[in-house]
Structures are given as C-alpha cells and as structure tokens.
Structure 1
Amino acid sequence: MSSSMILSESLIESGRDIPLKELLYAKRVLDNYMAVAKDTSPLELLTEMKTAARHVEYFTTHDNPCEARNVISNMIEEIDAADSFETFKTLAGVPSLALFELIEDRAQLIKHERELLLASGYDASRI
C-alpha cells in the first residue's frame, strides 16, 4: 500500500461489502461537481453542490457495520464546511480518492476472479 492512500488496508477490506453500484454513483456525483466547480460560478451553485454531496443517500450513515462506509460518510459530511469552490474541490477530493481506492480494489478482485475462472476452464466471456 502506498503512502498516498487515503484508506487503510483494513478499511479497503471492509469496503468490499459496499455494492459497486453505490461506489460508482457516489464517485460520479463528487467528480461531476468538482469538474464544474469554478471560481466564476454563481455562489448558489456551491450550495447546490454541497446539498448534492450530502444527499448521496448510501453514504449518510455513522453506525453501519461496514466501517469503510462510515468513514466515507464522515468525509462526505465534511464537504459541508466548504465556503468556496476551491475548498469544495479540496474537501470533495478526499472521499473521491477513497472511493477510487475501493473501486480499484474491486476491479483487481474481479480481474483475479476472472483469471481463476479461466484457469479452471470456464469461459468468462459468457458471464
């Protein structure tokens, strides 16, 4: 694990319980708003962006058995403190990177499982 990682190995393992669909959706929401966050944008957009981040429903928990879900929920909650578009991008970048780490881990697991299937004689292309 590199030193630039946001999540520990145990949190990444915990995050394997999070549905991939939820990881991808949350990352898409954060990344889309970070892409439109410009200093020249109207301030009302910042309020909308913070509201959208808070309303990624799957990540609005604090006492879930999946610790990674709780950690990312807390990261997303911190976005509400943004008072500028630059701060929004900085704060939203943390959970976005954490989500990326979980998605990459899942991709590696899927790749490994496909290799196992192929090695066992199954045609993974039909899956």
Structure 2
Amino acid sequence: MSLLPRRAATLAALALPLLLGACTQETQNQLKRDLQNWTGTDGILEVYSNGVVVKRFLKIDKLSTALGTQDGSARSYRFGYGVIDLNLNGTVDAGEKRVYFELSDYSQYVFFDNPN
C-alpha cells in the first residue's frame, strides 16, 4: 500500500469518531438502527401473561413503532414480522410460518437477540 492511500485511511479512521461525536444521541441511535437493519438480527420476542410465556416469535429482524399518517407522532404499539413458535420450544418447526404481529405498549414482553 502506498503512502497516500494509507494516509487517507488513517485520516478517515480518525475523523469518524469525531463526526459521530458531533451527532445528537438520537442521530447516533438512528445510525445504529440503520446499520442493524442492514446487517440483520435474529431476535426472539416472548409475550408474557402472569409471568408465563404465552406467545413466542422467532427470527425477528426488528420491532418498529407505528407512526401516525397525518401527524407523524408515535402510536402506542409496536409491530414486526417473525416466525410464530406454536409449541414454544424455541426452534422453527414444520408448519410454523412467518407472521405479522402487533404489541400494545401495555403488553408484557421481552425482545432479545438469539443467543445460539
């Protein structure tokens, strides 16, 4: 690698933290979400009732907050797509399909990355 490309790479590596530091926290969060959406995730969503798992969705890439069409304000529910785990065994089995789901802000749920 010649000297000029090496300097350009070094300057870019030094400038990136400075540029990100100048962004607001919300902008940094948005950049992180955009990167995560691009790279994908393997999330699991568990819905609870009285401390017991009653629904589980697998292979979720993200949860989204609904926005109003007229005012753009956040609505009181989340939505996403995932494979419904009908027998709650934590694996995608034959017959378990990808579905759309919505969750109220008042729902008891945990969304986490698949540890496997």
Q: TM-score, normalised by structure 1?
A: 0.23
Q: Which has the higher strand share?
A: 2
Q: TM-score, normalised by structure 2?
A: 0.24
Computing the radius of gyration from Cα coordinates, the structure with the larger value is 2
Structure with greater contact order relative to length (CA < 8 Å, sep ≥ 6) = 1
